[in-house]
Amino acid sequence: MTTGTEQNRNTQQVNSKKTVKKLVLIVFAMFGFGFALVPLYDVFCDITGLNGKTSTTAANVNEEGIDTSRIITVQFISRMAKGIPWQFEPMMNEIKVHPGETKLVKFYAKNQSMRDIIGQAVPSVSPGRAAIYFQKIECFCFNQQPLKAQEDVEMALQFYVDTELPEDVSTITLSYTLYDVTGKVES
C-alpha cells in the first residue's frame, strides 16, 4: 500500500511539472498580449475611428463629387502641450464646407523662445466617429515643424469631408495639440 502511494506521488510530480510548464507559458503569452494590445488598439482605431485620430497619411484628391445639399461646419482648435513656448493658432476659427469640397486653411505658428525647437502637431477629431471621414490631402501634422528662435511660419491644411459622413453629424471639431519633440525623435 505504501509503495502504491509512493508511485502515486511520482506520477503526481510528473503531472505537476507538465501543468507548471503550461501555466508559465500562459503567463508569458499574456505578458506578450499586453504589448500586442498596443498595435491591436491602433488597428482597431484606424478601422473605427474610435479615438478621434485621423489618418497619418495624405488622402487622394476627392473624385466622388460634391454633395451640395449638406453644409458641414468645421471648427479649428489649437492648444499647446506643457512647456512649448510657441504661439500656435488657426487663422480662421471655423469654415463651412459641402461634403466632398476641398478647402485650404492656414495655421500660424511662431517660436517665441530664444532657442530652436521642433514641434509636432497631433490632430484629434470630435465626434470621434467623424474622424475617418475627415480626409487630409496636405497637412503640416504629417511632418515635424522645426522653427528657429523667433521664427514664424504659416502652415497649410488641405482637406475635404467625405460624402459618406453620417447624416446626423453637422459639426466637426478638429483640434491640434502642439508638442515639443526637440531631441526626442530626430527624423
Residues that bind another protein (CB under 8 A): 2-3, 5-6, 8, 12, 15-16, 19-20, 23-24, 26-28, 30-31, 33-35, 37-38, 41-42, 45, 48, 50-53, 56, 81-82, 120, 122, 124, 126-129, 177, 179-181, 184-185
Closest CA relative to residue 101, chosen from 139, 121, 76, 73: 73
B/e letters for 100-130, b = 16+ CB within 10 Å, e = fewer, are bbeeebebebebeeeeebbbbbebbbeeeeb
Least distance from C-beta 74 to another protein, angstroms?
19
Nearer to another protein, 113 or 124 (CB): 124
CB nearer another protein, residue 76 or residue 100: 76
Nearer to another protein, 7 or 150 (CB): 7
**Joined grid coordinates for residue 181:** 519633440
Question: Which of 53, 68, 149 is closest to 101 using CA atoms?
Answer: 68
Q: Minimum Å distance from CB 108 to another protein? A: 20
C-alpha 29, offset from chain centre: 27
Cβ-proximal residues to 3 (8 Å cutoff; 6+ apart), any chain = none
Please say which residue, 37 or 92, places its beta carbon nearer to another protein: 37
Q: Minimum Å distance from CB 122 to another protein?
A: 5
CB nearer to another protein: pick between 97 and 176: 176
Number of residues that make up the chain = 187
Compute the least distance from the CB of residue 58 to another protein, in Å: 17
